[in-house]
Structure 1
């Protein structure tokens, strides 16, 4: 037969002897493919068929999503193998082979496999059709037109392409592949999908996503291995490059024992030890949904990890293999990842979020670099620390790159840290997805909060949470930790009227406090208060935090704040901070007094978590809640503040944030007026409209905001130069943009159109055609204030020596 190829090789562009064959016939001969027992497929041998290797690895990835030896695992193996075997069938054409040889031809090759699936498996053909047709362009809709052609139309249009492939196969005497197209065992659809029950459409949607993920990862790994020449990536993929889970669990225990010996014998530390022990004991419980309600400062970051690692060990025989920690903000990731790295070793952990710098100038001869990049793409590491945005948007994405990791989310312990921050309007999708992962894909979910009980199902609102009988409490409700000595560390002073407190008066009150933080609703409020405090206390330090500052700038200021707080404890040097709510969830600060503008009860509890956090004070810390002159932004935050205000009126001006029933009431009132499917997306799940759902499922509504990259320091300038060089060398905007935003995200500030208009005359595009803009404060010093960050209005700057940041 005439040799047919899948890919050329970077080092053999014109010499086809170094190209990757498309298919290797099945058989017992050592040069043939032995399907699931094929050593050449397992090693991703360069001279072995691409379809064979991708089929092998897709099937393995798919089977590993389920318990070993289960019928689900066998079914997934069968679907995965066919997806891999047929995914590049369209390359069997004279046009595609001509393209490999340098002919300028535009040829679409993914539709043929989808058309074959429709012909050979008519009942459930879309299971393969979506996966194969989308393995480059992404999952499309079933019938509704979006930017991609709907699957039904795609398969119909690809029928002539399929016949063309068959003729080409016959003409080239490739009997092995001709048999492979028809002589196969028809895969069985899982019973929960085929039964036609009320959730069958959701089950099918998720199953398609998982097979799609397995195919995309397998195809990517096989292609990367072949292109690397020396199979370097293949070796890294197959070697045990991470420490085993039992080693990590033992290492964490050693680290925790060392911390215990170093810690003082205080009530807080005794309570932390008790929480850790409860987590260790609970790890042996049945897999499923768990709650971990621990007051702020209770050590839940490491206690939750201790539970997770031991739970993985308990269910390792069923395929459980990793821990995924999802948090609401990148600032928490950077903090938590540092803690986990010290405990487990940095090589065992992958940080994956929008601020992650996975861009550098290193050649991929650096094995650590290759491993890290691969793990960020497919989450093939024992511990992943990521954001809610990255986790949930990946679970509902239609894009191949984001979906690549999905099969590795299976068989994981998923810790949802600060779970109350997940947007309510997406619960109708997020809750069923978590149930799907727990019930059918071997996961355990830990709902970890410092407030009670954000995810407990509310009567009459099933979409908002998990049924109470399914929630296993790691800390029993009767423990009431927030009331015990050590965690009962603050007194809340509630406003006695709804009359707004003038900011002039607030500033004077803050000026009278030697160490205090005020948390306000809006960035302008924070700026005004910081300026006023500087006027009132010109010789003393004032710090400011808001999202007008790029992330690198904010990190620097937070480190200075921690130093200043420590200095205040030692010598009484005043320290005053004004911030927006960005400090409330997971930011490790410890102040004696907090002023908080009226907000949701959960936000007030989070603010209180920054007060007397370590219990060092002889007296309780103070949290002063006030009605601000300005209201929270319209929407969720404003509604939460209104509910707290109404509850205060009902309870005679006093609310006990230690009381679980108070939070039950708060969330019940919140959910009563909220829509769990605020964007009407559930119908796209049942209709198999993958593309439309993927585009509209966005936890952060930032579609109107434009990112501005601030050339804040020399590192930013260096990254920008390299990014611009990549952009000039790339033919596709998407590739350049992806690299650019990953590298420059720590230096970006998102602005609304009004703010953009103020700066437009001094902004430049990152590179030609880029939506993102860049700003150089060295050329325009007045545009980025060293205290307040990006200046988007006419407010005058003040000398930086008056405000230290």
Structure 2
């Protein structure tokens, strides 16, 4: 047994029996420190059992502690387990007991005044005192290594009520007159009749140990740096989870026994296998897949190619099942989402240690779209579908419908507390989320972000459209993913129609596998390669806008479905107005015109997508003017496309919106209007020689040989981070920031979206109509705003209920929030935080579209 119960410290042996020590208060109830500690131990054991954490830490030992003796490894385990036990021992602080717990029975020295009622730093110091002599007795090499983990665990204890920052600052807290030093001085001289262990930490011993730990830390190589970062974040996440669960159980009577694991993949897989798509693929497998001398070059049935890809990927997965990172490169329209669902389930079949699935997308729109796809598969089985959750900034906290049915009163606090805990700690078997949410769990320094890091253990993560990440951190991303996967027993499927070979950036193919070995079988097939004809006839026009407008109007006579994409929102708005004006003046054109940008809320997006797929659009045609929100994965099938050139992989993504069904011949006309360098900052792909202004890039787009495109891109990235005189240097980052456990620096480097200090958020109150189950529901923006204000002001509502209800209101508020350039002269009617409320918002809309000119004149400029 990896975690031996005998290694847990009994805190009764450390504390005087003359006094009672309390951890939490709830009305007239008091929870003793011993009771809280036992609850934390209980939750630690639950998490170990449910998530198989013994195997995870054994992984870590085998990789990081492979040269450590058995004695050293046993002490490593003891240190780890008692991070949980001793995390709150500092609550024996008499100031904490008297001021926070109302317990005035404990005598105290005035020396405690220097740290007031703090307890986490005291816990860290007492933890160090308990284990220091044990660690110093180890053999030299063991001592160097295990001492680091003793200090790291103590640092995590000191931060369990705060955010992770910089480990070296904790080591320096034992310098003269720093907080750690002050705590040591208290326990060296007083409190001996209360804390019974002889306190043996001396100033000399501690300074020497901190200095040696600092020196050891500097020698950690870049590979071990990622493993050490993984350990820190995992233990921090586990400690916070155990403490939070235990506290909630005492305060609210909510006991958790399930943490979102998939017990049997057959619950999901059997339903998926019953779908007609899956059954048809298996029928094809039995009848045609293994036939010799198949010639698919001229295959005209796209479903045959989809079947082949599904089965090819599955076969390769079975052959390479022991790898950690899987690359799925597949043309747009080839059914990647379906393939990835099957692959994720297949991984579970072959690996019983796996527990959870994450489907991760670049945009909330794709999260919504793929939830609808899963709803089509699992929606009829309510119990199963309710175990799939969306975690993003705009979805309300998921409520457990079965629990709701089981309570007499919906105001039952347990109902809300469980929902909040499940959201905070991602206690769901299948999660749909965004890249930003996932990266927050992995890299953000805030405590709330790190809550769920332990949920990555034993998980399958499907990353869609990885090329949409900032390319200046592609190398860091793949290095972290490899490190996480190795320690946490993760399996990662990275998929895209344009997939860079990220192994080039790490100089290693270790732990990675390609799932489509013969990419030409698909990319060179005419159904994908020649599905869309490309034209550059608009590229060199002097008056691009008018040439484009005339071209679009000419094609609209043909009653086609036309898509025009701009890379600037302002250009899209302007062109939309021009098209509307032209069509209003021409009674020969009957098609409707739509505009889709990042300004549209989900209700408006759904309305637009519904109109595109309508019978009227098929019969009369439709024109959709859009920004880049239309590129990646949006499920529309248009006849003719127009696009302002940008990054080549974005241009290819756009082609995927044209003739998606392969039932006709599509055509895309590229034009060159707006500059890309201001939009895609720090992106090497905006170089002219890597865009469609270059003849080689034009050839690559037609031939679909994206390796020739990504090779120079990856070389440019390598040049940047291999420059030893540059702050972007990769090795420097790994050794100095990751290896030294500077979480703030890691967070800054790994941030997917840069903060924009030039924007502000406004709330335009109006009435929005939303279709729900064949009925139209009115959502009044003014009422939503007032509900939000009332909830914020309600101090009598219990915390969990308030957070759940706030999440529901915030979800509705997203329908009314827009970003504009900062305007210090903004006239607003109300304000909450940095959100500005403007009543009568309907006057700035024409139908469901913002009238930007009017808004600009009266309020400000939209971003």
Counterpart secondary structure, 2:386 = helix
Give the Cα–Cα distance (whole angstroms) in 1 for the partners of residues 264 and 581 of structure 2: 57
Aligned to 2:10: none
1:98-133 deviations in Å (ceiling 9; x for gaps): 234458996211111211233344522332122111
Residues 446-476 of structure 1: CA distance to partner in whole angstroms, max 9, x if unpaired? 110011x324333xxx35xx73464311111
Give the secondary structure class of the aligned counterpart of 1:554: helix
Q: Is 2:394 aligned against 1:355?
A: yes
State yes or no: 1:200 paired with 2:207. Answer: no
**Cα distance in 2 between the residues matched to 1:160 and 1:388:** 47
Instruction: Give the match's secondary structure for 1:596.
Output: strand
Alpha-carbon separation, structure 2, partners of 1:291 and 1:654: 21
Q: C-alpha displacement at 1:300, in angstroms?
A: 1.0
Match of 2:793 among 728, 733, 737: 728
- Is 2:84 the counterpart of 1:84? yes
Please state whether the residue corresponding to 1:694 is helix, strand or coil.
helix
Q: Could you tell me how far apart the structure 2 residues matched to 1:343 and 1:162 are?
A: 62
CA distance in 2, matches of 1:586, 1:434: 23
1:301-316 pair list within 5 angstroms: 301-316=337-352
CA displacement, residues 250-290 of structure 1 (integer Å, 9 cap, x when unaligned): 22222254674999997111222222223333343223111
Q: How many residues align?
A: 727
Alpha-carbon contact 1:130-1:208 (below 8 Å) kept: no
Alpha-carbon distance between aligned partners in 2 of 1:792 and 1:107, rounded to the nearest angstrom = 57
Q: CA deviation at 1:212?
A: 0.2
Contact kept, 8 Å, 2:360 with 2:435, in 1: the verdict is yes
Following the alignment from structure 1 to structure 2, what is the Cα–Cα distance between the partners of residues 792 and 638?
34
Give the whole-Å Cα distance in 2 for the aligned partners of 1:616 and 1:151. Answer: 71
Distance 1:737 1:141, change over 3 A: farther
Which consecutive residues of structure 1, in runs of 5 or more, have no partner in the other structure?
Answer: 25-45, 182-188, 798-805
TM-score, scaled relative to structure 2:
0.75
Distance in structure 1 (CA, Å) of the matches to 2:151 and 2:57: 26
How far apart, CA to CA, are the structure 1 residues paired with 2:247 and 2:422? 16
What SS does the aligned partner of 1:587 have? coil
- Residue 250 of structure 1 pairs with residue 270 of structure 2: yes
C-alpha contact 1:65 1:411 (8 A) present in aligned 2: no
Cα distance in 1 for residues equivalent to 2:242 and 2:852 = 47
Partner residue, 2:765: 711
Residue of structure 1 aligned with 2:702, choices 656, 680, 685: 656
C-alpha distance in structure 1 between counterparts of 2:303 and 2:51, whole Å: 44
- Paired position in structure 2 for 1:156: 181
Question: Which of 72, 75, 91 does residue 61 from structure 2 map onto?
Answer: 72
- In structure 2, C-alpha distance between the alignment counterparts of 1:402 and 1:668, rounded to whole Å: 30
> Corresponding residue for 2:821?
753
Query: How far, CA to CA, are the matches of 2:282 and 2:47 in structure 1?
Result: 48
2:563 to 499, 512, 517: 517
Q: State yes or no: 1:467 paired with 2:503.
A: no
In the alignment, which residue of structure 2 is the partner of 1:400?
447
Instruction: Spell out, residue by residue over 1:27-65, the C-alpha distance to the aligned partner (whole angstroms, 9 max, x if none).
Output: xxxxxxxxxxxxxxxxxxx8x844544554576688617
| SS of alignment partner, residue 527 of structure 2 | coil
> Is the CA contact (8 Å cut-off) linking 1:350 and 1:375 kept in structure 2?
no
How big is the shift at 1:162?
A: 5.3
Q: Quick check: 1:562 aligned with 2:643? A: no
- Pair 1:164–1:314, CA change in 2 (3 A): farther
Answer with 73-82 or 90-99: which moved more.
73-82
The aligned counterpart of 2:303 is 269
Distance 1:355-1:262 versus aligned 2 partners, 3 A rule = farther
Greater shift, 713-722 or 105-114, is seen at: 713-722
2:673 aligns with 628
Q: 1:433 to 1:320 in 2, by over 3 A?
A: same
Larger Rg, first or second structure (1 or 2): 2
- Once superposed, what is the RMSD of the aligned Cα atoms? 4.1
After superposition, the C-alpha distances for 1:464-494 in whole angstroms (9 at most, x for unaligned) are xx73464311111354312224333111223
* Rounded Cα–Cα distance in structure 1 between residues aligned with 2:537 and 2:460: 42
The offset of 1:659, in angstroms, is 2.1
- Distance across 1 between alignment mates of 2:163 and 2:671: 49
Q: Cα gap change, 1:4/1:226 in structure 2, threshold over 3 Å: closer, same or farther?
A: same
CA contact 1:545–1:579 (8 Å) conserved in 2: yes
Q: Deviations over 1:513-550 (max 9, x none)?
A: 23201001111111111111111111641101112333
**Cα drift, residue 417 of structure 1:** 0.5
Worse overlay, 688-697 or 585-594: 688-697
Change (3 A) 1:508 1:612: same
Instruction: Assess if the C-alpha contact under 8 Å between 1:708 and 1:750 holds in 2.
Output: yes
Q: How far apart in 2 are the matches of 1:193 and 1:210?
A: 19
Map of 2:518 onto structure 1 = 477
Choose 526-535 or 719-728, whichever is displaced more: 719-728
- TM-superposed CA distance for 1:209, in Å, is 0.9
Gaps of 5+ in 2: 1-16, 63-72, 105-112, 133-146, 202-212, 285-298, 379-383, 585-589, 769-778, 859-863
What is the alpha-carbon distance in structure 2 between the residues aligned to residue 5 and residue 792 of structure 1? 62
**Structure-2 separation of matches of 1:498 and 1:591:** 25
Q: CA 1:222/1:794 → structure 2, altered by over 3 Å: closer, same or farther? A: closer
Q: 575, 587, 606: which is aligned to 2:622?
A: 575
Closer/same/farther in 2, CA of residues 651 and 359 from structure 1, 3 Å limit = closer
- Deviation, 1:653, is 7.0
Q: Which residue of 1 aligns with 2:575?
A: 529
Kindly provide the CA deviation profile for residues 215-242 of structure 1, in whole angstroms up to 9, marking residues without a partner as x: 111111111122222x4x425x37x886
Is the CA contact (8 Å cut-off) linking 2:462 and 2:493 kept in structure 1? yes
Q: 2:274 is paired with a residue of what secondary structure?
A: helix
The alpha-carbon deviation at position 687 of structure 1 amounts to 2.7
Tell me the TM-score normalised to structure 1 length: 0.80
Residue 29 of structure 1 aligns with which residue? none
The question of whether the paired residues in 2 share the 8 Å contact of 1:23 and 1:52 is answered with no
* Residue aligning to 1:186: none
